[in-house]
Structure 1
């Protein structure tokens, strides 16, 4: 496989194409009144899932490009303390930050100057390819959780996503 084809495969996975649900698809019809909603037996809310995804993705991106980056404490630093955002603006800012960081990872992967297979100098064997796939995998997992949660809350519009 040539370098361009590999980059395109990774980019498609990051963008939520193929078998993956895209981020925007998952949140597009989410009523704002449900951001902190819980269902019995599920420890998460849409807000907690979004913030966890944002924090983890930011951490992976920053590790990939910044040798001075310090990761949050695990696991508490990767989850918001509250079930709901303090304001609707906080939700919108989190969504915007998630999109910006996802785009930044896509830009890093798309850049022909980025050696996808070279070990990250400040890591212990990680590569940009591994980190991009980690983001895609982590996002896919939690977007699936979000869809199940939204279905349980009765706010997932199956007809809009078939």
Structure 2
């Protein structure tokens, strides 16, 4: 396995999470990826666990310092830029836990641009005890919620082991 520490914030990479950390993370165990994300301390760290193959497809996983998460937009864009810098601009296909993401990259004035359409969000009801606690933090109670707008959590669909978010 070859890896380099995160690239520090640079003028053409304005966000600290735009780090190109792992050139090959195949074979890393979950606990190793979690430990690396915690040590580096960025809000999101992407690990390419396979690929890209000849079809420019790869498997990607995301970790915050506290948990694996199903999808992270900024880390996806950073990974697209890193892939384009290494393999040339064009389309890449990544398979995170939340579903396939097609990335479009292009060379542009001494930099690389990247874009994608996000995975479809899922809406799930908030556990009543969690909702009660959240409302209490805001000095509210359930009677103050509009009946047509129940407490919902929106985000990418996630494997059951994922508890974090970006």
Q: What TM-score do you get using the length of structure 1 for normalisation?
A: 0.23
- Greater share of helix residues, 1 or 2? 1
Q: What TM-score do you get using the length of structure 2 for normalisation?
A: 0.22
Structure with greater contact order relative to length (CA < 8 Å, sep ≥ 6):
1
Higher Cα radius of gyration: 2
- Greater share of strand residues, 1 or 2? 2
